[in-house]
Chains A and B, each alone.
Chain A
């Protein structure tokens, strides 16, 4: 298993390995992501409907897919395994607040953590396997093991591995890895994950 690309978003900074791609003094996630969206001229109106956690996952996936030869793979050959700690707690609380007056279906749909994979799937026409785990902390063993198991199922050639966790406008973290079964480049193993996570 090899790492094709990597992206992290935290503390007002979007980085690809050691290279900082975008940073802002504006730590507040929503305005920070919006400025990235505008500066990079992304045109995807669905972005504005997403909750903060999905926006975080979406922008990270846009960065991850830069320079990726998507056309080389069939829709079914790309799988996703994601995890986080919060599930969708922030949106759960917003939804429940709304439900005291008029429950919002537009919020309710975002009370499922796997929706972020659905958003990335729609944007990039990805139809492979989907798995969402909840863990207290970033768990490289879990993600490595599940990625390996996904590659054992025949059609899977690429796995997007993600940790996307939103607690508040100040506390958020996205780490996305684009992994290929065969090829060259940095090995997808515990040591390299930890190295990348240090940025």
Chain B
């Protein structure tokens, strides 16, 4: 069967404007989480405004586009430039994954507008690239950009397109910050995934793009292919994860059932909220993967919501290609009840496949599997 490989990628975040730059900064142990002012109640991982502006000027992007749309265009543009695909072709589809897109627009004007709708943003992004097909938009809480990869894989397997561009993006806004604050979910210090003293998540913003192809073309990341993926629901609580981890385990087991390969590594969601990390460790154990090396990248990028799944997938694709396990920055003392093989310090490690997992509000879970 034709493999589905990657022909272009990009990450825009606090740690840089290309995938390579982001990976190098992660490798050197840098965190993008910064206190934005002296009395800021929590650190945030924000995109450098000056460089962002320069890049927008570089592409000559219209002032009519919102910051969210510009971010997606910059990210897709960089990924496409590495690849030989024709984004204008009828064989190519764009999938946008986001939780809240242009929600920041409500802060200046709290009323209904066309511009705030996600299909409107996706339409503008697709029009910029002269795409032939109407783009798809997936908005499924914090699993959005893992799910978008699953959907892209299925559509390519069924030969509906030759190339699919998946872009996951979300921005930090007062809307988002106030919401997580109201849940008392934000850590006053950079988040500490799977740590005994973890006390909440840190927020981030960013975009990640992957170009999936089922054509025989130049494949990045040593020819890594996406093999399998699935989603599931906990059916437990709309704002809290399952206590047993069975929902996420269902998504993992369904994915492994398709891949027929045991993963060599797991990139966890690892938000560093007490409940998420506890549930995730249980799900990993329930799936029989206690021995598999696991990390969380949230302490590098913060939780970038709809972008998190794809940004973390790209970093793990680099890590697999270079035989490195990225450590869980900020992790000091193991603090979840179930024992899993958490990688705290970055080490050389050869692995030939990995699982990326994610969970979100509404009880949703998703998993995607890559192999060399």
Q: How far is the CA of A155 from the CA of B253 in the complex (A)?
A: 11
> B112's contact among A93, A95, A115, by CB below 8 Å, is which?
A93
Q: Are B231 and A129 in contact (CB under 8 A)?
A: yes
Cβ of B372 within 8 Å of any chain A Cβ, yes or no, is no
Q: How far is the CA of A128 from the CA of B139 in the complex (A)?
A: 17
A96 and B107 within 8 A (CB):
yes
Q: Does A145 interact with chain B (Cβ within 8 Å)?
A: yes
- Which B residue's beta carbon lies closest to that of A95? B179
**Which of B117, B118, B147, B233 sits near A128, CB closer than 8 Å?**
B233
For the complex, what is the distance from the CA of A175 to the CA of B123, rounded to whole Å?
A: 24
Are B112 and A89 in contact (CB-based, < 8 A)? Answer: yes
Q: How far is the CB of B255 from chain A (nearest CB, A)?
A: 10
Q: How far is the CB of A166 from chain B (nearest CB, A)?
A: 12
Is B151 a contact partner of A96 (Cβ separation < 8 A)?
A: no
Write the chain B residue with the least CB distance to A150: B154
On chain A, the number of residues with a Cβ less than 8 Å from chain B's Cβ atoms is 51
Number of interface residues of B (CB under 8 A): 56
- Listed stretches B18-26, B78-86, B234-242; interface member: B234-242
Residues of B within 8 A of A142 (CB): 136
Residues in A with CB closer than 8 Å to B362 are 112, 114-115, 117-118, 130
Interface pair A127/B235, CB less than 8 Å apart: yes
Contacts of A149 in B (CB 8 A): 151, 154-155, 158
* B182: interface (CB < 8 Å): yes
B-side contacts of A131, CB under 8 Å: 138, 140, 147, 151, 231
CB <8 Å contact, B235 and A126: yes
Is there contact, CB below 8 Å, between A109 and B231?
A: no
B299 adjacent to chain A (CB < 8 Å): no
Name the distance in Å between A73's Cβ and chain B's nearest Cβ: 13
Q: Which A75-92 residues have C-beta < 8 A from chain B?
A: 75-76, 80, 85-87, 89, 92
Which A-B residue pairs are the 9 nearest by beta carbons?
A118-B362, A108-B179, A103-B182, A134-B137, A121-B233, A105-B182, A121-B235, A134-B118, A103-B178
**Contact call B147/A112, Cβ cutoff below 8 A:** no
**Which B-chain residue is minimally distant from A141 (CB atoms)?**
B134
The proximity string for B residues 169-206 relative to A, scoring 1 for CB distances below 8 Å and 0 otherwise, is 00000110011011100000000000000000000000
Q: How far is the CA of A182 from the CA of B100 in the complex (A)?
A: 37
Partner of A93 from the list B111, B174, B182, B235 (CB cut-off 8 Å) is B111
- In the complex, whether A113 has a CB less than 8 A from a CB of chain B is yes
Q: Give 10 pairs: A residue, B residue, CB < 8 Å, sorted on A.
A: A86-B117, A97-B110, A104-B182, A105-B183, A114-B139, A114-B141, A114-B360, A126-B235, A134-B138, A135-B119
Chain A residue numbers with a CB within 8 Å of B179 are 95, 99, 103, 105, 108, 111
User: Chain B residues with Cβ under 8 A from A111's Cβ?
Assistant: 100, 103, 179
Q: Tell me, yes or no, whether A190 is within 8 Å of chain B by CB.
A: no
Q: Which residue of B lies closest to A136 (CB)?
A: B119
B232 at the interface (CB under 8 A from A): yes
B160 lies within 8 A of chain A by Cβ:
yes
* A111-B103 Cα distance, complex, nearest whole Å: 10
Bound-state CA distance A98–B200 (Å) is 23
Q: Across the interface, name the chain B residue whose C-beta is closest to A122.
A: B235
Please tell me if the beta carbons of A125 and B254 are within 8 angstroms of each other in the complex.
no
Interface membership of chain B positions 28-45, coded 1 if the CB is closer than 8 angstroms to chain A and 0 otherwise:
000000000000000000
Q: For residue B111, which residue of chain A has the nearest CB?
A: A93
Q: From A97, A104, A114, A125, give the contact of B235 (CB < 8 A).
A: A125
Q: B137 touching A133 by the CB < 8 A rule?
A: yes
Given contacts A96-B107, A130-B233, A145-B160, contact A87 B139 (CB under 8 A): yes
> Cβ of B139: which chain A residues have Cβ within 8 Å of it?
87, 112-114, 132-134
CA distance A114 to B110 in the complex (A): 22
A127 to B111, CA, bound (A): 36
Asked if A146 lies at the interface with its beta carbon under 8 angstroms from chain B, I say: yes
Digit string of A168-196 for contact with B (CB within 8 Å is 1, else 0)?
A: 00000000000000000000000000000
Minimum C-beta distance from A124 to chain B (A): 8
B250 cross-chain contacts in A, Cβ below 8 A: 76, 127
Residue B350 lies at the interface, judged by CB distance under 8 Å to chain A? no
